Chain A
């Protein structure tokens, strides 16, 4: 394909509406509805005050980032090492990047909440420290992808690092049971019934669904971007072959 055609094809894909679609619009509406419910229609917790409402963004973001986004990253990476399909590498890196954004939300909202209930922005307890380590490893994963030119080598290194990073996830989940920690134990994701009043539980489940939908929408957009990069690279390879 001539170079000019490659450029016009990329420009054409941009004109077709960009990476965002109706799923993103629905996800944004759902998140806005969740915030309105949390702010105006959910009771204030008696001991912690209004700051407890941080829970409705903090905990679902953590669930989506750690278990869904990084879980999918690890699964796609393992499948890549087996099948060597570049789309699996693109899916893994897309999920890692979106998961990093959600983990950033966790690491920013957590200290704000911690300041009100613990009196400190940060404490080096196991849950917080391991989550920060995972954030740094995923950041390193994305830096690695930017540093390796060879596509197959990059995909292989990335897949191995993603699998190693995913080993932290069970430790993060179990850290509140294994170590003495300030971070509370799960009040929803646990074997027994959730320890929340019905109004708060409804808001939490709504937040979980809307933030999960936002993750899906951002993953679709990021994966579309990765596919567009791959198409452009392939077109350029043909143009210069």
Chain B
């Protein structure tokens, strides 16, 4: 039995997963970096 040729779908899924994890990691790094630059009284523990 020949498997269907649908590799493009799993390539897209893997790319999407890596993109989501990368963007989320970058958002943590960016918020941490911004924390040091923000003026006092404009931060909040959320």
Contacts and interface: CB of A to CB of B under 8 A. Distances in A.
Interface in A198-241: 214, 218, 221-222, 224-226, 228-230, 232-233, 235-236, 239-240
Given A47-B3, A228-B32, A101 B24 contact: yes
B13 A54 contact: yes
A215 B31 CA distance: 18
For chain A, which range describes its interface: under 10, 10 to 19, 20 to 34, or 35 or more residues?
35 or more
Interface stretch (A104-112, A126-134, A177-185): A104-112
B31 to A, nearest CB: 6
Nearest to A61: B17
Contact of A54 (B9, B38, B40): B9
Contacts of A224: 32
A214 B28 CA distance: 14
Contacts of A149: 44
A90 B9 CA distance: 37
Interface in A40-75: 44-54, 57-58, 61
Interface in B21-37: 21, 24-25, 28-29, 31-33, 35-37
A51 B44 CA distance: 43
A26 interface: no
B27 to A, nearest CB: 9
- Of B12, B28, B46, most buried by chain A (CB within 10 Å of CB) is B46
A19 B29 contact: yes
A65 B43 CA distance: 28
A31 B14 CA distance: 11
A45 B45 CA distance: 47
Interface stretch (A3-11, A166-174, A188-196): A3-11
Given A18-B29, A50-B10, A113-B9, A228 B35 contact: yes
Contacts of B35: 10, 13-14, 225, 228-229, 232
A108 B13 contact: yes
Interface of B: 1, 3-7, 9-10, 12-14, 16-18, 20-21, 24-25, 28-29, 31-33, 35-41, 43-46
- Closest 4 A-B residue pairs measured CB to CB? A11-B36, A14-B36, A49-B3, A49-B4
